[in-house]
Amino acid sequence: MAAALAAVLALGGCGVFDTDKTPQRAKDGITGLQLSVTGMPTPGSLSAVEHVLARIQSRDADGLAELAEGGDRNGGTVKETARSWVKTWGDAAQKPMTADFSEPDRSVSVEVTFEGGPGTLSMTLRGKGDDNEDAYGVVLDEGK
């Protein structure tokens, strides 16, 4: 009996009894994106673009501003740019999109085209952390 109780307690710490089985992608709001990818994304740069597009699609300017790398996330320019992107691209982001990535580097250029959209959204991703880290934020400070 004691062994069974010990096994249950040990397994309980491993998430066996975790009732929330929602995939992280669904929790992040990126599963609904109709996104095609070309070029050379890394897992980190692709994830950053997915999160940016999900915020635009949900018209979440504040959430988009939180993804900014560099600049003052609470500052006027970052928030103004986030609001502008949501206003300009929010409707288009409801339809299929294609993201074309430049070669992987600490700064990555991404061109997003929207099916039937108003043009191309050009964004720059800037690496976070050290050179070995595959994590990116979007540049929303128009002064770059």
Q: What is the CATH number of the domain that holds 121?
A: 3.10.450
pLDDT by residue (tens digit) across 87-96? Answer: 999 999 999 9
Query: What pTM did the predictor assign?
Result: 0.77
Residue 12 lies in a domain: no
Establish if 17 belongs to a structural domain.
no
CA–CA dist 88, 93 (Å, integer): 10
Cβ pair 43, 134 in contact under 8 A: yes
The model's pLDDT over 61-110, given as tens digits with 9 standing for 90+, comes to 999 999 998 765 555 789 999 999 999 999 999 999 999 999 988 899 99
Domain count of the fold of the chain: 1
For residue 7, being part of any structural domain is answered with no
Q: Rounded distance, CA 64 to CA 75, Å?
A: 13
Is 99 domain-assigned?
Answer: yes
Contact 47, 62 (CB under 8 A): no
Point out which residues pair with 127 in neighbouring strands.
Answer: 136
Query: Residue 137 — very low, low, confident or very high, per pLDDT cuts 50/70/90?
Result: very high
Give tens-digit pLDDT for 117-135: 889 999 999 998 887 789 9
Query: What is the domain extent for residue 48?
Result: 30-138
How buried is 37 (Cβ within 10 angstroms: 0-12 exposed, 13-18 middle, 19+ buried)?
middle
**14 vs 105: CA distance, rounded Å:** 36
pLDDT at 130: 82
